[in-house]
Structure 1
Amino acid sequence: MDSVLQLTPRQRVELFEQTTQQTGIDAVIVEKDFWVCWTLKELFRLPAIGEHLIFKGGTSLSKVFKVIERFSEDIDVSIDRGFLGFGGANEPGAGGSNKEKQRRIEALKTACQQKIALELFPALEAAIKAKAGKSEKWTLRLDDDDPDKQTVLFDYPTSFAPAAAGYIRRLVKIEMGARADHWPCETRTVTPYVAEQFPKGFREPSCAIKVLSVERTFWEKATILHAEFHRPAEKPMPERFSRHYCDCYELIRKGVAKSAAAKLDLLARVAEHKNLFFKTSWARYGEAAKGTLRIMPPEHRLKALRDDYGKMQQMFFGEPPNFDTMLGTLKQWESEFNQQ
């Protein structure tokens, strides 16, 4: 992948536009996809850190498992808790009172913040500088909008004019943390669209990364929707949230939900984990089980959800799923799952 960094901006535009001609994918998306994959490669090759990371979330569904047909622009990476000194008896859920568990979770967050700020960030910045140099216009910065101070933003060197971006943000958002459960996982490869179309132009078109299993990711998504169903009406739905509904719809269509439904122990593990690490007074993770799981949005959220979904149309490859069809599929799956 590093060979692309040796090209001039004009040559990169030509490469990205040639990929667009082959795939029909917007050139701005092709460019950002390259930088997402390149950033993943650099992250997982960081000395003493990379081996303790796991890739998860929506981007893993599109880039690794290829089960969703939209562009996923952010990187969701988790740091192993054991690497931070919170394994075994120090696990937040290893016993003790609820107060003690919360104390461990706060200590884990602090340890993660320090690992990112003092080790991972400088190491990634050095890796980018070694490959991209000083002539490229790029910055790496901590996200000031993240109250947990665990998100890094990579403003990559774009070759396109700002007006061409539309819904696409010209940065790679690397969301990190250490609360995620890393089981089950597997090693897979990730390849940018440019390398898929022109593999002979790359000495190393792909990179190997550790990724959370696709069934686990389905249950992670489903429990996000379950919590959203129970969110108090006065609390606004987060922005760019419709993607979770769309992802679950695609996972149902592709058969992932069916295989996940045979692993109710995994659903229980996800719900228990969220009840510990992402506990709220209203999410009702204890009801995220057969018979009471909710993945459909409540009626009062539909307008906001439809509007949010309309804004993300540029992210799809080909014709986006019809909004009402998507909800109909979710409703049918929810009903069948709860009645089995």
Structure 2
Amino acid sequence: MSEPFQDVKLHSYIDDVYRNAPFTEPDFEVRAVVPERTFLEKLFLLHEEYHKTAETVRVTRMSRHLYDICQIMDTPIAERALGNKELYLSVMEHRRIFIGLRGFDYSTLLPQTLNIVPPADILEKWRQDYREMQNSMIYGDSPSYEHLIEKLRMLNDKINKLRY
């Protein structure tokens, strides 16, 4: 699924630092999936992951999705994503067809049953993964793991109240 999409202008940070260097390039556009879809994909990915057995749930670099969701959830992107029933259902259907996890009930991705909060049996593993992400992948200040989990709980409650 490469839609919905939008054209996005890209600009190099290197060009900012070396404005007159011979290797600078003009800004250019690329076609990118809209961030609303990416937000929903991350929500669904977490829900799907949590339905696996504790032994098969992926851990390495997965906590980045918690961080990303928390960064997006207080923006208009999240509001637009959650308020767009057509987009929500189309991303859900796309995952059913193209991800197709064996034995997974894709109807549980509906808002009333969606769960984006890590279950108790993997909380500590994901906490350690988040520490590693803070050291290697997240630049600058980052919220505590406890803060992420609390924000996810609030978002999860909000999503579960949606009716479509």
Fold equivalence (TM over 0.5): yes
Deviations 1:230-267 (A, max 9, x none): 11223142421111111111110333211111112111
Amino acid at match of 2:7: T
Equivalents in 1 of 2:127, 2:13: separation in Å? 29
Quick one: distance in 2 between partners of 1:282 and 1:234? 16
Question: Which residue of structure 2 lines up, in the alignment, with residue 332 of structure 1?
Answer: 154
Q: How does 1:187-226 map to 2 (within 5 A)?
A: 187-201=7-21, 203-226=24-47
Equivalent residue, structure 1, for 2:101: 280
Answer with 196-205 or 265-274: which moved more: 196-205
Output one character per residue of 1:86-142: Cα deviation in whole Å (capped at 9) or x when no partner.
xxxxxxxxxxxxxxxxxxxxxxxxxxxxxxxxxxxxxxxxxxxxxxxxxxxxxxxxx
- Count of residue pairs the alignment pairs up: 160
Moved over 4 A (4+): none
- For residues 192 and 282 of structure 1, the distance between their equivalents in structure 2, rounded to whole angstroms, comes to 44
* Distance change in 2, residues 1:195/1:284 (3 Å): farther
Calculate the TM-score normalised by the size of structure 1.
0.45
Unaligned stretches of 5+ residues in structure 2: none
Which secondary structure does the structure 1 equivalent of 2:73 belong to? helix
CA distance in 2, matches of 1:305, 1:325: 14
**1:299 partnered with 2:120:** yes
2:51 is the counterpart of 1:233: no
Report the Cα offset of residue 283 of structure 1.
3.7
Paired with 2:138 and 2:55, the residues of 1 have a C-alpha distance of 31
- In 2, Cα distance between equivalents of 1:205 and 1:322: 39
User: For the residues of structure 2 that align with 1:265 and 1:198, how far apart are their CA atoms?
Assistant: 44
1:98 counterpart residue number: none
Q: Secondary structure at the match of 1:253?
A: coil
Residue type of the partner of 2:122? R
Change (3 A) 1:284 1:190: farther
Structure possessing the higher relative contact order (Cα contacts under 8 Å, 6 or more residues apart): 2
C-alpha distance in structure 2 between counterparts of 1:222 and 1:246, whole Å: 12
% identical aligned pairs = 29
SS of the residue corresponding to residue 199 of structure 1 reads coil
Gaps spanning 5+ residues in structure 1: where?
Answer: 1-180
Tell whether 2:77 aligns with 1:259: no
Q: TM-score, normalised by structure 2?
A: 0.88
- CA RMSD in angstroms, aligned pairs only: 1.7
The CA deviation at 1:197 is 3.5
Deviations 1:265-317 (A, max 9, x none): 11111111111111113443221112111111111111110111111123222
Task: Tell me the CA shift for residue 203 of structure 1.
Answer: 4.1
Rg bigger for which structure? 1
